[in-house]
Amino acid sequence: MSSVRARKTPLQPRPEPAPAVDAVDTRYLRTLVGYNTRRAALAIIEVFMERMAVYGLKVVEFSVLSLVAHNPGITSRQLCATLGVLPPNLVGLIALLERRGLIERRPHPSDGRAMGVHLTAQGVELAAQAEQTAAQLEEDATARLTPAERKTLIRLLQKIY
C-alpha cells in the first residue's frame, strides 16, 4: 500500500476587504418603473393601513366596501374580476363583512343563480367615513404634486395595468 502524504497548499493571499459604502448608489434602480411604483405603494399602503385600522379594515376589505358602495348589487364574480381576487378568497371576505353587519347578500334581479352584494346602513356609514379618510390620505401622500401631476400620475399608472 502506498502511504498518503499530506499535501501542502501554497498560502493564498487574503483578499482585500471591500471598501465601506458611504452613500448607496440607487441610480439604476431609480430608472425602473417597478422599483419606483413599489416604493411609492409601500409608503402609501403603510399609512393607509394605519388609518384604516380605526375602522377595522384591511386594504382589500376597503376595496370591496367601496366597490359595493358605488355598485349596489354587484356580484361576487364581478368583485373577483375587478379586484383580481380568487373566488375562494372572496367567499371568506364576504362572510367576514357580512358578520360585521356591513354588507348583505340579496337575490340578483335578473340572474336567479347569483346574489347581489349590498351595503347595510352601517356599511354605508363606514364606507363613507373610510373613503373620506382614503381621500385625505391621497392628498397627504401626493402633497408635493400639483393637481395636474396627480391626475397624470394616476392616468399613467392605469395605462400600465
The reported pTM is 0.81
Overall average pLDDT of the 59-74 stretch: 97
Q: Which residue has the cell 347569483?
A: 114
CATH architecture, domain 35-160:
Orthogonal Bundle (1.10)
Q: What is the per-residue pLDDT for 16?
A: 81
Model confidence at 32: pLDDT above 70: yes
Q: How far apart are CA 8 and CA 37, in angstroms?
A: 55
- The amino acid occupying position 5 is R
